[in-house]
């Protein structure tokens, strides 16, 4: 938290969905924007810190499994004998690290990852966290150990963290218990809520840290446990996240077991509201999307992971035509930049619909429409005031490096378009978090060394 008010001046800044000139940005003692003045007179800029390039709001990364950064690039070969590869075979490979990683290794992996996400334009990450137990499935001596490893990682690099302890009880619909390689995920509503309480106590006052809850999926959480978790989350006003309808097999299994598709079942059996965030929702019907929209809930789209895993393509046009709210996540972290996620989201729509500028609206470019929607969805994902350069929102911002090759010679009004659709991605010259410009880390070499050592311990070489 800041102890005094601060002011910034930007010759060009993204305010209310468009570029504005000569913008004075004042920050209050709580690290929130207290005033955003467009066309600020010269006399009023006195004492303000001049930002070195065009300024954008920062985005929330609404879905992360930090430990999966350790397998990025390591799952791109077929199995023995050229066996077909899909989400479920990838999951088995992912478990090979999930069941072995220690708190110290998790901190090393998450520290480098969060520094990469900051560099990619995110200043808050929602960590969907289900590695609660020891590697053999027994409870840790301190059940909070793995969670605090993530908190330490975020604090080391200056990343905001919405930690989502995740309930995981069953290996599939109608199955009692977990597989051997899932035992360290195990929990109950009671154990999870105790973990939430412990985390809230131990992170009280840490900048940018808050706590919510998650249910892994309908296949992993039985109806009674989900109802108990949902009721407590509502009572405590916590954000709630859940994987849903990511894979065709998941939809088919849910139909066979319950007689309903996953989202239809959730809408009928849970009192969803604006605190609920449905991750992926790749396979939907128009009625389901309408139901999510009417409930006030939101969808978290993870384009790079959904493409990498062969999940399918989200019905972006159908959902946005209803006015549905969504946010962006990098999930397994094969990509760690929001501009790449937004580009892939638009390109997946162009490929399936065979037309250009699917997200665009009259007078609004595709990049602007995508960016504004992802920006608005961040508040739902985190239950924090994350909504852009506007009064009352957290004073997070990105300063573009105008010398980045993708921005050279681009007219001012097209900078966001070039950032999203011209590769390689532009760099950020400065990053602001709660009204403070993040210092360039002097720990980069140390973070890389710790990460490399952890990768060697996990994979050899």
β partners of residue 7 = 26
CB-facing half-sphere around the CA of 214: CA atoms within 13 A:
30
Residue from 229, 225, 318, 210 nearest 276 by CA: 229
- Alpha-carbon span 146 to 154, nearest angstrom: 13
Query: Rounded to whole angstroms, what are the CA distances from 410 to 10, 343, 356?
Result: 18, 18, 21
- Alpha-carbon span 218 to 236, nearest angstrom: 22
Taking the alpha carbons at both ends of the chain, their separation in whole angstroms is 43
Query: Rounded to whole angstroms, what are the CA distances from 207 to 126, 149, 152, 359, 439?
Result: 15, 16, 12, 35, 16
Query: Rounded to whole angstroms, what are the CA distances from 369 to 16, 343, 358, 379?
Result: 12, 12, 10, 17
The count of other CB atoms within 10 Å of the CB of residue 271 is 11
3-state secondary structure 286-331: HHHHHHHHHHCCEEEECHHHHHHCCCCCCCHHHHHHCCCEEEECCE
Question: Does residue 71 contact residue 93 with C-beta atoms inside 8 Å?
Answer: yes
What token pair was written down for 247?
């894979």
Element (H, E) at 174: none
331 part of the active site: yes
92 part of the active site: no
Residue from 384, 447, 377 nearest 113 by CA: 447
Q: Which DSSP category does 342 fall into? A: H
Point out the catalytic residue in the list 280, 283, 333, 433: 280
What token pair was written down for 304?
């790079």
Point out the catalytic residue in the list 63, 170, 315, 331: 331
Question: Does residue 399 contact residue 49 with C-beta atoms inside 8 Å?
Answer: no
- Which residues are part of the catalytic machinery? 280, 331
């Amino acid at each position: 938290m800041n102890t005094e008010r601060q002011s910034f001046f930007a010759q060009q800044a993204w305010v209310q969905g468009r570029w504005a000139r000569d913008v004075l940005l004042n920050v209050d003692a709580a690290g929130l924007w207290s005033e955003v003045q467009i066309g600020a007179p010269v006399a009023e800029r006195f004492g303000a810190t001049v930002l070195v390039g065009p300024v954008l709001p920062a985005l929330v990364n609404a879905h992360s499994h930090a430990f999966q950064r350790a397998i990025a690039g390591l799952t791109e070969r077929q199995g023995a004998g050229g066996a077909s590869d899909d989400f479920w075979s990838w999951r088995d490979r992912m478990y090979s690290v999930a069941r072995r990683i220690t708190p110290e290794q998790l901190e090393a992996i998450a520290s480098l990852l969060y520094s990469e996400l900051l560099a990619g334009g995110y200043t808050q990450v929602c960590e969907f966290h289900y590695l609660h137990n020891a590697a053999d499935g027994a409870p840790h001596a301190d059940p909070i150990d793995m969670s605090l490893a993530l908190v330490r990682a975020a604090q080391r690099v200056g990343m905001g963290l919405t930690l989502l302890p995740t309930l995981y009880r069953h290996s599939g619909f109608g199955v009692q218990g977990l597989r051997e390689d899932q035992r360290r995920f195990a929990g109950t509503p009671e154990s999870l809520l105790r973990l939430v309480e412990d985390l809230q106590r131990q992170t009280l006052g840490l900048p940018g840290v808050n706590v919510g809850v998650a249910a892994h999926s309908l296949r992993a959480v039985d109806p009674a446990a989900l109802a108990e978790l949902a009721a407590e989350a509502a009572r405590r006003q916590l954000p709630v996240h859940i994987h849903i309808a990511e894979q065709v097999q998941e939809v088919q299994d849910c139909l066979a077991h319950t007689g309903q598709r996953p989202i239809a079942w959730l809408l009928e059996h849970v009192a969803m509201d604006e605190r609920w965030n449905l991750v992926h929702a790749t396979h939907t019907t128009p009625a389901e999307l309408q139901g999510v929209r009417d409930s006030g809930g939101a969808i978290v789209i993870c384009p790079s992971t959904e493409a990498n895993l062969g999940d399918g393509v989200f019905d972006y046009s159908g959902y946005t035509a209803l006015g549905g709210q969504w946010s962006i996540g990098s999930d397994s972290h094969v990509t760690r930049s929001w501009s790449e996620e937004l580009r892939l989201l638009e390109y997946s729509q162009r490929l399936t619909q065979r037309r250009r500028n699917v997200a665009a609206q009259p007078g609004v470019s595709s990049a602007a429409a995508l960016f504004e929607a992802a920006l608005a969805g961040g508040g739902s994902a985190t239950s924090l005031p994350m909504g852009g350069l506007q009064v009352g929102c957290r004073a997070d911002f990105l300063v573009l490096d105008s010398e980045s090759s993708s921005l050279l010679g681009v007219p001012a009004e097209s900078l966001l378009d070039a950032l999203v659709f011209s590769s390689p991605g532009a760099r950020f010259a400065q990053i602001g978090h709660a009204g403070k410009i993040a210092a360039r880390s002097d720990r980069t070499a140390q973070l890389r060394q710790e990460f490399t050592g952890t990768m060697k311990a996990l994979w050899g070489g």
